[in-house]
Amino acid sequence: MSNSRVSTWSGIRNKLENEYLCPTLRGHIQYFVTRYSKSADHEGRAAIRMDGVEVLRSNHYTYFENVWTKFHHLRSTTLKDCDSAKEAINQAHAFALEQGTFDQKVFYEAFGIFDNQSIEKSLVSENPLVRIFALLDRRLGKRRLLALEESMEQELDWVRAFYVIRMQAEGLIEANNI
Give the closest residue to 137 by CA, choosing from 35, 175, 129. Answer: 129
How many helices (DSSP H) and strands (DSSP E) are in the chain?
9, 3
Give the closest residue to 31 by CA, choosing from 107, 95, 123, 112. Answer: 107
Phi, psi of 60 (to 5 degrees): -55, -40
Tens digits of residue pLDDT in 86-143: 888 999 999 999 999 998 889 999 999 999 999 999 999 999 999 999 999 999 999 9
Q: Please give the residue that has the higher pLDDT: either 88 or 4.
A: 88
